[in-house]
Amino acid sequence: METIALITAFALILIGLFGILSNKNILKIIIGFSLFDTGLHVLIVTVGYIKGGTAPILDKVVGTSNAADKIVDPIPQALVLTAIVIGLGVTALMLAYALKLYQAKKSLNITDFKELKW
């Protein structure tokens, strides 16, 4: 289970990275970023997983006394929430940029934006 998740996570990260580095289309690059982020999120959750643990919510089953044995590590779960929010922000801003770039040159090809160089 852990291994599968880990492999999935890294596969997503690498696919995302490959997408970022190989696609010329800006929208596809942004999608690559989404994949990259998703892979990261899966990775975070996986690292925090403890075998047989349940969600880190205190209720009737999981009391304060036995929480440490029953639940998965709550910190990565908190982190992943933040990370998702940030990922969202980044993606949104990137899309806004994509719009602006398209408005400027009627093109979404990243190789068309090389005014600044050397």
Distance CA 26, CA 95 (A): 9
Of 48 and 62, nearer to another protein (C-beta) is 48
The residue assigned the tokens 């892979």 is 39
Restricted to residues 48-107, the positions that interact with another protein (CB under 8 A) are 75-76, 79, 82-83, 86, 89-90, 93-94, 97-98, 100-101, 104-105
The residue assigned the tokens 């970023």 is 33
What is the number of residues in the chain? 118
**Is there a contact between 29 and 66 (Cβ–Cβ < 8 Å)?**
no
Of 1 and 60, nearer to another protein (C-beta) is 1
Of 3 and 60, nearer to another protein (C-beta) is 3
Check binding of 35 to another protein (CB under 8 A): no
Check binding of 27 to another protein (CB under 8 A): no
Torsion of CA 34, 81, 48, 14, to 10 degrees: 10
Q: How many residues bind another protein (CB under 8 A)?
A: 38
Return the residue of 21, 60, 64, 106 that touches another protein, per CB under 8 A.
Answer: 21
